[in-house]
Amino acid sequence: MYQYDTYDQSAVDARVEEFRDQVARRLSGALSEDQFKPLRLMNGLYLQLHAYMLRVAVPYGTLSGQQMHMLAHIARKYDRGYGHFTTRQNIQYNWIKLDEAPDILAELATVEMHAIQTSGNCIRNISSDQYAGAAADEVADPRPWAELLRQWSSFHPEFSYLPRKFKICVIASAEDRAAMRLHDIGIELVKRDGVLGGRIFAGGGMGRTPMIAPEIKDFVAADDLLSYLEAALRVYNRHGRRDNIYKARIKILIHEIGAKEYKRQVEEEFAHVKTLGIDPPLAEFDRIAAFFAPPAWEQGLSDDLDLSDPDFRLWVDQNVIAHQTPGYAIANISLKPIGGIPGDASADQIDLMADLATRYSFDELRVTHAQNIVLPHVKKADLYTIWQALDEAGLATANLDLISDIIACPGLDYCSLANARSIPLAQKIGQRFADPERQRDLGELKLKISGCINACGHHHAGHIGILGVDRKGTENYQLLFGGSGAEDVSLAKIIGPGFSEDGVVDAIEKATDVYKALRTDGERFVDTYRRVGMDPFKEAIYG
């Protein structure tokens, strides 16, 4: 994992002290809320439905055991004993006190963490593949590139006040596990004739105007990557709409001028930027990359597993993924127990996951955009012990990518922008499909719920998506089918009039019945939907 140098540390420490002073001035009345709000947002502090909410950055979703313990400590000492892992691979605390926020940031800084650029119209936390450095199918480890982008984008003076927030994702395999093309800029690292570089996609996103990012460059050599991104951001910064918040994202700019024209302007700017010499010298990249060198794998480990315990077998089948190294595996920890709150973990659970990472996973954890946690490098021989510990803590739900592995935003239970609650609906759907065999029979089915059009719950990218709306003061839910955030990326479509909370659960059950009746061998729900279209589903639901 990357470790701060003195420059990183002093920058983060200085920011804590600056914020401490800003909070003191707010509490003394020297700053009004209007003056203070942009300052607190730059430090990840929102005012939500019940209290201040702090969003802590987890760069590209990677954490050490020590950092994870710190997250548990903060939950216990400053919050109400839990945290919420988000679709941006970050963590949020819901019950923060303003006068304690500087102390929290100071504690985070001791483990090289912060909340900088988790809000505001700047480049946000870089997201990446949660299996980076472990996946069997990657062409390179995307994390050194994500880290390079983190350093480039942190406090970038030109890009601190963009027209709107800006999200970048880096992956390194053809399988997209990070919704790469639904980012403002998505980078897929590829190799061409042995040379590493990136395919660049720009102008994707969800929210009120969902768009899939078109490819704007089929190959940028790794040496040119920063210059190219600098150019891409400059063109956006120059022409992005600042007059209308709903039209300010890069996706609108690219939609309005066309990908071809945007690309032309980026190329022109790139030719200029390239003369500025901002790409790091190879030695600097190598310095960063060295932090992500593979751990010291044990050689000669067996791939055999004793699967005689049926519950363990179920968990291995569903939640454990092949690793690039023989004898190792990637273990997914579901934060979606049946009837639970998607993405929430108690301080004790967070501590346990930290301990397991330290003991069994080379001290590493990952946060996924699906609001789960990953132990990326565990020996197969340790899986049973790990599973037993997880099971005891309520963390061994075997439902990865199944219908109960629901992404749900905080919704109206916590979020001041919400129209409807997301979490109770996720709980009801989980309970309706609680039977493990029933879920497994339905196979991969990505269900995603947002409490409003901002789409933090990625409903546009759900095989089944649900959007909460406000219908004359009551909660109502629109149902969407056919989305995907993966390599088969697509945007879900609304199927018809909305439902009450119970109505939407019934409608989903009917849809799964249609799928079961019409599916052919190996077809997932979304495949069947794509093949047969919406009509049979509509007929069953509304007919």
Per CB under 6 A, the segment of 118-126, 183-191, 453-461, 523-531 that binds ligand SF4 is 453-461
Q: Is residue 51 a contact point for another protein (CB under 8 A)?
A: yes
Pairing outcome for strands 195-202 and 185-192 = antiparallel
Amino acid at 145: W
At a CB cut-off of 8 Å and minimum separation 6, what does 157 contact? none
DSSP string, 85-134: E-TTS-EEEEEE-GGGHHHHHHHHHTTT---TTSSSSSB---EE-TTTTT
Report which secondary-structure segment, H or E, holds 255.
helix 250-257
CB 291 within 8 A of CB 2: yes
Among the listed residues 343, 451, 483, 498, the single contact to ligand SF4 using CB under 6 A = 451
With contacts defined by CB under 6 A, name the span among 62-70, 316-324, 407-415, 479-487 that binds ligand SF4: 407-415
Task: Confirm if 163 and 238 have CB atoms less than 8 A apart.
Answer: no
**Per-residue string for binding with another protein, 463-482, x by CB under 8 A?**
----------xxx-------
Check residue 90 for interaction with ligand SF4 (CB under 6 A).
no
- Gap between the Cα atoms of 130 and 366, Å rounded: 6
- Out of 411, 430, 462, 482, point to the residue binding ligand SF4 (CB under 6 A): 411
CA–CA separation, 537 and 359 (whole Å): 48
Residue whose structure tokens are 């927030």: 165
**Considering the complex, what minimum distance in angstroms separates the CB of residue 97 from another protein?**
5
Verify binding: residue 454, ligand SF4, rule CB under 6 A.
yes
CA distance 171 to 190: 9
Closest to 254 (Cα-Cα) out of 243, 242, 244, 266:
266
Choose among ligand SF4, another protein, none what residue 475 binds, the Cβ cut-off being 5 to 8 Å by kind.
Answer: another protein
List, in sequence order, every beta strand (DSSP E) within 32-90: 45-47, 52-56, 62-64, 82-85
Distance between terminal CA atoms of the chain? 55
- Minimum CB separation from ligand SF4 for residue 264, in Å? 34
CA distance 485 to 176: 8
Site for another protein in 1-40 (CB under 8 A): 26-27, 29, 33
CB of 118 to ligand SF4, least distance (A): 14
- Stretch in the footprint of ligand SF4 (CB under 6 A) among 156-164, 167-175, 445-453, 481-489: 445-453
Q: Is 412 in the site for another protein (CB under 8 A)?
A: yes
Q: Which does 456 bind (CB under 5 to 8 A by kind): another protein, ligand SF4, none?
A: ligand SF4
78 with 93: CB under 8 angstroms? Answer: yes
Helix (H) or strand (E) holding 413: none
Asked if 349 touches another protein (CB under 8 A), the answer is: no
Residue 244 identity (one-letter amino acid): N
CB of 47 to another protein, least distance (A): 6
Applying CB under 6 A, which of residues 120, 240, 430, 457 lies at the interface with ligand SF4?
457
Q: Are 374 and 332 in contact (CB under 8 A)?
A: yes
- Can you tell me the distance from the alpha carbon of 348 to that of 75, in angstroms, rounded to the nearest whole number? 10
Q: Which stretch binds ligand SF4 (CB under 6 A): 270-278, 302-310, 410-418, 425-433?
A: 410-418
Closest CA to 77 of 350, 373, 363: 350
98 binds, among ligand SF4, another protein, none (CB under 5 to 8 A by kind): another protein
Should residue 322 be labelled a site residue for another protein when binding is judged by CB under 8 A?
no
Q: Which does 457 bind (CB under 5 to 8 A by kind): ligand SF4, another protein, none?
A: ligand SF4
Nearer to ligand SF4, 159 or 414 (CB): 414
How far CA 511 is from CA of 357, 424, 484, 520, 542, in Å, comes to: 39, 20, 17, 15, 11
CB of 79 to ligand SF4, least distance (A): 18
The residue from 59, 102, 376, 410 that contacts ligand SF4 (CB under 6 A) is 410
Dihedral-angle region of residue 101 (phi above 0 means left; psi in -120 to 50 means alpha; beta otherwise): alpha
Is residue 418 involved in binding ligand SF4 (CB under 6 A)?
A: yes
**Interface segment toward another protein; rule CB under 8 A; list 95-103, 182-190, 322-330, 531-539:** 95-103
Stretch that binds another protein, among 9-17, 97-105, 281-289, 372-380 (CB under 8 A): 97-105
Q: Residue 540 in 3-state DSSP?
A: helix
Reduced to 3 states, what is the DSSP secondary structure of residue 478? Answer: strand
Selected range binding ligand SF4 among 268-276, 455-463, 510-518, 526-534, rule: CB under 6 A = 455-463
Q: How many chain residues are in contact with ligand SF4, going by CB under 6 A?
A: 13
- What part of residues 421-440 is at the interface with another protein (CB under 8 A)? 421, 423-424, 427
Q: Which helix (H) or strand (E) holds 459?
A: none
Judged by beta carbon distances under 5 to 8 A according to partner kind, the member of ligand SF4, another protein, none in contact with residue 27 is another protein
Among 450, 476, 478, 528, binds ligand SF4 (CB under 6 A): 450
Give which of ligand SF4, another protein, none residue 409 binds (C-beta under 5 to 8 Å, depending on kind). Answer: ligand SF4
Q: From the list 20, 73, 80, 239, which residue makes contact with another protein (rule: CB under 8 A)?
A: 80
Choosing from 135, 381, 398, 415, the residue that interacts with ligand SF4 (CB under 6 A) is 415
Q: Which residue has the tokens 């929210």?
A: 207
Residue 102 vs 411, nearer CB to ligand SF4: 411
How far is the CA of 94 from the CAs of 63, 436, 537, in angstroms?
21, 31, 38
Ranges within 300-329 binding ligand SF4 (CB under 6 A): none
Q: What is residue 212's DSSP assignment?
A: P
β strands within 347-456, DSSP E: 364-367, 373-379, 407-408, 447-450
Provide the binding-site residues for another protein, judged by CB under 8 A: 26-27, 29, 33, 47, 49-52, 80, 94-99, 341, 412-414, 416, 418, 421, 423-424, 427, 473-475
Q: Which residues of the shown chain bind ligand SF4 in the complex (CB under 6 A)? A: 409-411, 415, 417-418, 450-452, 454-457
